[in-house]
């Protein structure tokens, strides 16, 4: 299957610093990328959707100035957690797919390996 | 009411048994339904998808969809210890066909 590379896999940072997470589609062009966060034993919560070449669409309750998303190319999207605080500690996962829409599009939705962020 | 509900488990079954995982959803307009498997600390991987009422079989896995009752289930036959994981049910959102809403997952333990 297609490969989505996400790194770093784990990051520990001090409160107030910014952290950048990269998500790359290695063998396909990702028209659409999604960013999720997941707390222990909880479901994946969609944070934002980014389509290449356009601004990210954030879900209700997600601060766009806090979680900066850039989808500059068809193979790379980045999530920057700005001025991170302990409550931002979570597992962040990206996913990518070729198609923009249609309910069948998620048949080809591929996930990155996730980033465990710990803010001290 | 949560949009996608799953029993958190753990569901414990002996090796070789059938594991039955259930999921209910609230949006009658949902059209696509997915089951993902997630090992601890790893990202989800797609197991099955189903769009029409009835059963869909793929190897040891069978997905069952009942839109009238708004539930979707996953059966795992001949369960193996390697099937021990959290299984996430995902349903597309009515407002956007390509965004998925995930349940919180059911943890499955297959005892050797």
Q: Which residue of B has its CA nearest to A107?
A: B49
| Strands (E) located in B1-112 | 4-5, 11-14, 19-25, 33-38, 45-50, 54-58, 61-66, 71-76, 85-93, 96-102, 106-111
Best of A24, A95, A103, A111 to mutate (most B CBs within 10 Å, chain B)? A103
Binary contact (A105, B98; C-beta < 8 A):
yes
Q: Kindly tell me the burial class for residue A18, based on how many C-beta atoms sit within 10 Å of its own C-beta (0-12, 13-18, 19 or more).
A: exposed
Task: Look at the alpha carbons of B88, B94, B95, B97 in this order and tell me if their dihedral is positive or negative.
Answer: positive
CA distance B15 to chain A (A): 24
Predicted pLDDT at B42: 87
**Distance between CA atoms of A18 and B78, rounded to whole angstroms?**
47
* Summary mean pLDDT of chain B: 93
Q: Do A43 and B34 touch (CB under 8 A)?
A: no
Interface test with B, best of A6, A31, A43 (most B CBs within 10 A): A43
Whether residue B43 and residue A46 make contact (CB cut-off 8 A), yes or no, is: no
Residues (pLDDT < 70) of chain A are 1, 99-101, 103
Question: From CA B49, how far away is CA B69, in angstroms rounded?
Answer: 18
Higher-confidence residue of A55 and B64: namely B64
Q: Are A43 and B4 in contact (CB < 8 Å)? A: yes
Q: Give pLDDT, residue A99.
A: 66
Joined together, the tokens standing for residue B80 give 């193996």
């Amino acid at each position: 299957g297609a490969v989505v590379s996400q790194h770093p896999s784990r990051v520990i940072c001090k409160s107030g610093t910014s952290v950048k997470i990269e998500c790359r589609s290695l063998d396909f062009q990702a028209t659409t990328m999604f960013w999720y966060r997941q707390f222990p034993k909880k479901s994946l919560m969609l944070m934002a959707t980014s389509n290449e070449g356009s601004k990210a669409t954030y879900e209700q309750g997600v601060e766009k100035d806090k979680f900066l998303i850039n989808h500059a190319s068809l193979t790379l999207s980045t999530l920057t957690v700005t001025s991170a605080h302990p409550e931002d500690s979570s597992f962040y996962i990206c996913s990518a797919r070729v198609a923009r829409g249609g309910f069948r599009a998620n048949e080809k939705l591929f996930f990155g390996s996730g980033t465990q962020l710990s803010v001290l | 009411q949560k949009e996608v509900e799953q029993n958190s488990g753990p569901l414990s079954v002996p090796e070789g048994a059938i594991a039955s995982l259930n999921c209910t959803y609230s949006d009658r307009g949902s059209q696509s339904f997915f089951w993902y498997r997630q090992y601890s600390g790893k990202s989800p991987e797609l197991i099955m998808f189903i769009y029409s009422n009835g059963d869909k079989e793929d190897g040891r896995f069978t997905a069952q969809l009942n839109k009238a009752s708004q539930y979707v289930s996953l059966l795992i036959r001949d369960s193996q210890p390697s099937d021990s994981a959290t299984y996430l049910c995902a349903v597309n959102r009515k407002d956007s066909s390509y965004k998925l809403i995930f349940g919180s997952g059911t943890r499955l333990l297959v005892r050797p």
